[in-house]
Every structure is written in C-alpha cells, then in structure tokens.
Amino acid sequence: MRKMCNSRGVTNPLKSECGYGRRYTYVRHDGPTKCCKALVCCRIDMDYSSRRIAQKIFKVIDPDFYEWETHILFDDAFELGDNDEEEQIVNQFVKMLVRVIDEAGSFVHCKVIKV
C-alpha cells in the first residue's frame, strides 16, 4: 500500500497516492573529482524539483509524481576539536563536499549556479 504524498496529513486535492524514492550516496576519503561525481549522480533531484514546482505553483496534476530524498553518507565525517576532547567538528572531506556542490550543480544544469 502506497502512502499519501503529504507526510504531514494535510489534504491537498493536487496530491494523490504516489511513489517514494531515496538515493544514498556513500562518500569515502576521495578527492574532489570523485566527490563531484557522487553529487552529479543525484541529478534525479532536477526531475523531482520540476514536478514539485509544476504541482505547487502551476497546479498541474502529475499522475507520476513521487517524493524524493537524497542522502550523502560519510564513513568518517568528524574529527576532534583542538580545545575540547568531546568537541567534534566536520573534517576536511565534509568541507571538500561543500566546496564542490556548486561545481556539480553547474555541471548538471549546464550553467553556473551557486548554492
């Protein structure tokens, strides 16, 4: 049995039962090129975004609408802080992912974008 698109329980006549998808991307301790490729693999977000905007703004009823989530998993995302043994801060690999988001998005959309 498929669930209703609106997870908050709010009734919306433009939303009917729909599919639900998730994409998990695993990022290891790789360089910026592989990190960027992992983000480019998430280009289905572009289709989902178009469908969601069409429904929300233009009131289009899309029988093929689906909910979508993208998760990026790290094998080691934190390191200990300098001042406190219990303080954890994001490591260089998380910072690298954040730096290449604009590059990956620009590649997928074929124009320069800034997130």
Indicate the number of domains in the chain: 1
Q: Is residue 2 included in any domain, yes or no? A: no
**Cα separation, 47 vs 38, whole angstroms:** 17
Question: 57-68: per-residue pLDDT in tens?
Answer: 999 988 888 888
Question: 91-102: per-residue pLDDT in tens?
Answer: 888 898 888 888
**Cα separation, 72 vs 82, whole angstroms:** 26
Task: Give the pLDDT score at 112.
Answer: 92
Q: Is residue 14 included in any domain, yes or no? A: no
Looking at per-residue pLDDT, the higher value among 74 and 14 belongs to 74
Q: Is residue 12 included in any domain, yes or no? A: no
Q: Kindly report the pTM of this predicted structure.
A: 0.61
Pair 77, 90: CB distance under 8 Å: yes
Q: Is residue 9 included in any domain, yes or no? A: no
Strands (E), 3-109: 19-27, 66-74, 78-80, 88-90
Domain boundaries, position 80: 20-109
* Token pair of 84 as six digits: 């406190």
Task: Give the pLDDT score at 101.
Answer: 86
